[in-house]
Structure formats: C-alpha cells, structure tokens
C-alpha cells in the first residue's frame, strides 16, 4: 500500500525551514535616484545624498544652426559641480559660432550660476551606489575660460591705461611768441606749426615783428601767425620772412 506524502507545512514569516522569504529581486539603493528615507532624493548620477534638483545648461553654435543642451538633476555637490564645470567649459569655446549664439552663450553661462550656488551649499555626498564625479579644476582655471578671459582682461586693462597716458601726456600748448623772436614753420602744406629758432640759425625762416591790435594789419609781405601763438593765445602776430 502506498505511503501518503507528508503534510505540507504552511510557510510562515520565516519560510518552511525558518529561513527568510524573498519576495522578489531587491533594488540597490539609488537605482532610481531615491533615498530610502521618505522625502529624500539622491543624486541621479551616483545616488548619494544630499542632492539638489537643478538644470545645468549648455550651448553650441554651428555657424547657421545652434544646439540648446540641458542636463536635469537632482545632483549631489560633487556631481553637480562636475556637470556645471564641464558644460560651462564646453559652452565657453563651442557657444560663439553663430550669430544667435553671440547673445545666447552669455545668457546660458549666467543661468548656470544659480545651480552652481545650490551645489556649493550642499554637504559632502554620502551613501551613493557609486563614487560621485570628480568636480575637477574650477571653471576659471580651465583652458577655454582662459582663452575667453584673457582678451577681456586685456581690454579692461587697456582702457584705463590709455586714459591715464592721455592725462599724463596732455596736449602740448603752442609756444607764445615774443616780438623779435625767430621761428620756422614745420607744417608741410597744411596748418601752421611754429617752432622758435635762434635768429642766426639757418633753419630760422621768420621774425616776429609785432602783435596786432584792434584795426591793425601786418605789412605787405608779412605772414599772419595763428592767434594761439600770440599773448593769451588770442592775439595774431606778424611774421617777416628772413630771406
């Protein structure tokens, strides 16, 4: 006669033999960017927390066309800074090569300052399912930033330098002529530039004979010196040729 099978033990909370019951595959923490504690969100790249929701933007100019790039979080501090620095660095050298990009690129870089500030306020990341990204060098120490900032710095320094040089140099005022002095005119063909010379010098061309007053004129054959060479810078002088 066949022996009946032993009765099946109903599985309890610890299984038939007292071991744990597995109800399905276990998801590793961070696979969907959520922290086990309710209301906590982990980094979308490494799963670490704390993390801040943010959108980091980039731009590429392609002569006629342009690409608008973005990467959405949440990000932990290190992954967020690495994303910000990488996309901003690429934008600094890729974002200028179309007419529209000349305006879009500065706006994009300014918009990224908000996420950057949010990432810097976060505590160091912990508890992720993988190591966070390396933030790398600060943006201003990367080659694309140096290529852009160097010309801007040169222009910014050149403007005050030119202003200071202009103030120091000033405009040379014309020499005030006295009666009896000899001069030569170094202007060639236009205007008048008079320089005082010794009267016995072969370079001397004219002698100052008098300063004109109201209703007076120079003698025939004499030339009129511009008023700025006369007393007070407003008086015309008469110049008699020496030869």
- Digitized pLDDT (tens) for each residue of the chain, 243 residues in all: 455 555 555 444 444 444 443 333 333 444 444 445 544 569 999 999 999 999 999 999 888 888 899 999 899 999 999 999 999 999 988 888 888 888 998 999 999 999 999 999 999 999 899 999 999 988 888 887 777 666 666 767 777 887 777 666 555 667 888 899 999 888 876 778 888 999 998 889 899 999 988 888 998 889 888 888 888 888 889 999 987
CA R_g for the chain: 42
**Cβ-based neighbours of 207, under 8 Å, separated by 6 or more:** 180, 181, 182, 183, 199, 239, 240, 242
Token pair for 219? 């003698």
Q: Is residue 42 a contact partner of residue 29, using CB atoms and an 8 Å limit?
A: yes
The label of the residue with tokens 């996420």 reads 115
Token pair for 207? 């002698």
Token pair for 3? 């022996």
User: Element (H or E) spanning 72, and its range?
Assistant: strand 65-72
Determine if the peptide bond prior to 50 is cis (ω within 30°).
yes
Q: Is residue 134 a contact partner of residue 82, using CB atoms and an 8 Å limit?
A: yes
Distance, in Å, from the CA atom of 105 to the CA atom of 148, rounded to the nearest integer, reads: 12
Token pair for 136? 């790398």
Distance, in Å, from the CA atom of 183 to the CA atom of 200, rounded to the nearest integer, reads: 11
The dihedrals phi and psi of 106, each to the nearest 5 degrees, come to -60, -35
For 222-241, give one letter per residue: b (16+ CB within 10 A) or e.
beebebbbbeeeebbbbbee
Q: Is residue 131 a contact partner of residue 46, using CB atoms and an 8 Å limit?
A: yes
Distance, in Å, from the CA atom of 120 to the CA atom of 223, rounded to the nearest integer, reads: 77
Q: Is residue 91 a contact partner of residue 139, using CB atoms and an 8 Å limit?
A: no
pLDDT value for 27: 39
């Amino acid at each position: 006669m066949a022996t009946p099978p032993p009765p099946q033990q109903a599985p309890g909370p610890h299984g038939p033999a007292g071991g744990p019951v597995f109800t399905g595959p276990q998801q590793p923490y961070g696979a969907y960017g959520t922290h086990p504690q309710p209301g906590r969100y982990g980094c979308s790249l490494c799963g670490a927390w704390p993390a801040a929701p943010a959108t980091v933007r980039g731009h590429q100019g392609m002569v006629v066309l342009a690409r608008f790039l973005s990467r959405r979080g949440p990000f932990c501090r290190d992954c967020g800074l690495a994303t910000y620095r990488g996309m901003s660095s690429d934008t600094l050298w890729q974002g200028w090569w179309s007419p529209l990009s000349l305006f879009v690129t500065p706006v994009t870089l300014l918009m990224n300052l908000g996420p950057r500030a949010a990432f810097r306020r976060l505590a160091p990341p912990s508890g992720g399912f993988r190591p966070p990204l390396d933030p790398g060098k600060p943006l201003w120490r990367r080659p694309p930033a140096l290529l852009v900032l160097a010309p801007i710095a040169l222009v910014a320094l050149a403007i005050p330098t030119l202003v200071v040089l202009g103030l120091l140099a000033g405009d040379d005022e014309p020499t005030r002529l006295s009666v009896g002095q000899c001069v030569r005119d170094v202007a060639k063909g236009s205007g008048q530039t008079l320089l005082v010379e010794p009267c016995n010098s072969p370079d001397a061309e004219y002698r100052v004979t008098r300063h004109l007053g109201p209703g007076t004129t120079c003698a025939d054959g004499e030339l009129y010196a511009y008023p700025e060479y006369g007393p007070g810078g407003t008086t015309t002088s008469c110049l008699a040729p020496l030869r």
